[in-house]
Amino acid sequence: MNNLHTHQPSSTNAAKAFPLSLKGAPAKFAGAGVLALAAALATFAVAPIAAKETRAAAPDPQASPIYGVTLPKGYRQWQLIAPAIEAEPLNELRVVLGNTKAIKAYDQGTLPFPDGTVLVKLAWKHVQSPEFAPASIPGAATTVQVMVKDSKKYAATGGWGFGRFIDGKPADLAQHQTCFACHQSLVKNHDYVFTRLAP
């Protein structure tokens, strides 16, 4: 008990962050001091674990609000399901692509779509070709939208998780509150999916 410092792990961060000295403490308080020190060190010992958990639980800045959907890797190489044109005011050209599960489900007419299905819709401003007036070509990219089927995780929204991305970054919460309502009101009978396979 003469040298309380021998109880402190001298080179740990905890010791640095908690440079408590009990050297001058009266002998009768030293026992309580050791307990307090032990408690403090225990707190420091668990603190990094708690911090790590907090970080893991923090929202992924690349993921959509509400659903946590991210842009799938390699989607530009996926197969075409169908193109679409959206009239004013958006005035966009669009294509819907699907991963292997999506294409298989479309080919076989499987409904509802199986878990693991991913649909991606790319959109661009609808621009007149400078070389040939009757032709429309893609202008600036506007949004990339994603629907991911996971019937358990997204049970509350028909089994679909939604993500809208602008310049690769997820759009805000308010935009994500609109997705399911519209898809549900218009295409509930087609597993909440508008796009049919282009013939």
- Judged by the rule CB under 6 A, the positions of this chain that interact with ligand HEC are 84, 86, 94, 96, 119, 121, 145-147, 162-164, 175-176, 178-179, 182-183, 193-195
Q: Pull the structure tokens for residue 69.
A: 């959907």
Q: Which CB, 88 or 131, lies closer to ligand HEC?
A: 88
- DSSP 3-state of 54: helix
Q: Which CB, 36 or 166, lies closer to ligand HEC?
A: 166
CB of residue 114 vs ligand HEC: minimum separation in angstroms?
15
Segments in 58-169 forming alpha helices (H)? 100-108
C-alpha angle 13-15-16 in degrees, rounded to nearest 5: 60
d(CA 184, CA 174) in angstroms, rounded, equals 17
Question: What single letter denotes the amino acid at residue 172?
Answer: D
CB of residue 175 vs ligand HEC: minimum separation in angstroms?
5
CB of residue 59 vs ligand HEC: minimum separation in angstroms?
16
d(CA 147, CA 165) in angstroms, rounded, equals 12
C-alpha distances out from residue 19 to 11, 29, 30, Å: 11, 18, 16
CB of residue 69 vs ligand HEC: minimum separation in angstroms?
8
Q: Which CB, 14 or 71, lies closer to ligand HEC?
A: 71
Q: Which CB, 22 or 147, lies closer to ligand HEC?
A: 147
